[in-house]
Structure 1
Amino acid sequence: MITREQIPAVLEHPVYDTDGSKVGDAKNVFYDDATGQPEWVTVKTGMFGNSESFVPMRDAHIVEDHLEVSVSKDRIKDAPNVDVDGGGHLSEDEEHRLYEHYGIAWDEAWQQANDPGQAGWASTGRESARPTADAGMGGTMRAGPPGDDAMTRSEEEMHVGTERQTTGRARLRKYVVTEEQQQTIPVRHEEVRVVREPITEANIDDSLSGSEISEEEHEVTLHAERPVVETRVEPVERVRLVTDEVVEEETVTGTVRKERIETDYDGDEAGRPG
């Protein structure tokens, strides 16, 4: 059994189950009111360590820098949700539910509490009266150093960070489209025109060089220009993808737990704290 002196080596240290799998980190230790021995340890579980489960400390032992308990990880994660923030004690009903979940007979637990020499979980077969609410089994105490007459009040602080995740993908894809273009260009062509010249001294000899009366034919070849379309591939620009980091303000809301301490006094009015 874990002793009070070993508690500092338990708190905020890893807790492993009976198969050697890590369950979480030990958060608080609860003592039995009757024996003063460590009875339960709460383990922070969940993806972000935001849940606490009660784990029995019987048959638990410290190995190097961690605590090994005698129950499985699945059984721990399925343990009943117990809220003890208000007073730091387990009620009789809450302990009943925890014992039932872990398969511990209530009579066995009472026998073990009143006879610490009994080892293990097995029932001795002896009958014993079940405890009442005033018998001391109704609650446990939060861990504190032996002899310390002060109580520590703790609060949870919310620490918000960021994690990088994929939100989408951007791609560059090149494909070919065909579009029509229009351009206006000048084109030339030849047209025939009849030119008549009078007979002059300059051309009289050419005029009389042939037959007086004859048939004759002259032919002229006509030319025209037509548009010719030719395409050439020319680079026009280069395109690439870049990412720009944009910082935005985002408000994050979370819940934190805080411990409150109040005084409950039994006695003469003269001794009541102010």
Structure 2
Amino acid sequence: MRLTEQQVRSLYGQDVQDRSGAKIGSVGQVWADPSGEATWVSVKTGVMGHHESMAPLDAARMQQDGRLQVQYDKATVRSAPSVETGTNQPLSTEQLAQLYRHYQIGEQAGPPPKQKQQAGGPEMVRSEERLRVGTESEPAGAARLSKRVVTENVQTSVPVEHDEVTVVHEPILDADRANVRAGIGEEQREMELRAERPVVAKEQVPVERVRLNKDEIVEEQPVNAQVRRELVDADVPERARRNR
């Protein structure tokens, strides 16, 4: 990737993405070939230590927001040969050979690349803190289903039957007297009577299923934090100051 001087300057500290768009880290340093073309960058991956993984700039491209996307996956870049953080030494022939083998690219002839030095007078790097907000999962309690037994009164009605006795007096007609035996004396007859009464029985039946369902709800939550940034003041004599 052919970069202009301005683009090279803007690379420092920018996020580096792999070919799928996943973040690998941020640009630490830039190396250029003898012609001045930027060819390698070191990537701060956030892993504890004082080393930065190397990544080639061939086939890499800069996004509109300034991020650098390399055409390798995250694992390949993070496992690449590394350099010490803050080094200003050019890449040695042995380092280049290791990098070419790791990224499976052909070795290039010529002097090894040197760390990109920015032209001009004395300079300093101005740094600032940037807020990187993420999320982490933590326990938020537990939802439980528990079953208990309660007793309640149920009132209803049921039809019941019973026998009732009615005394009927029926005169004997003259025509029937010849067929009825008359007699005076004590006599007793019985009739069996029946009556129904309510009977209660209980049975256990399933009536419904109760379950817990969990839905993930996404909502915006404000985050407030303080970040620091550096300001650079230039103390230039009035006679040597150029007005722009």
TM-score by length of 1: 0.44
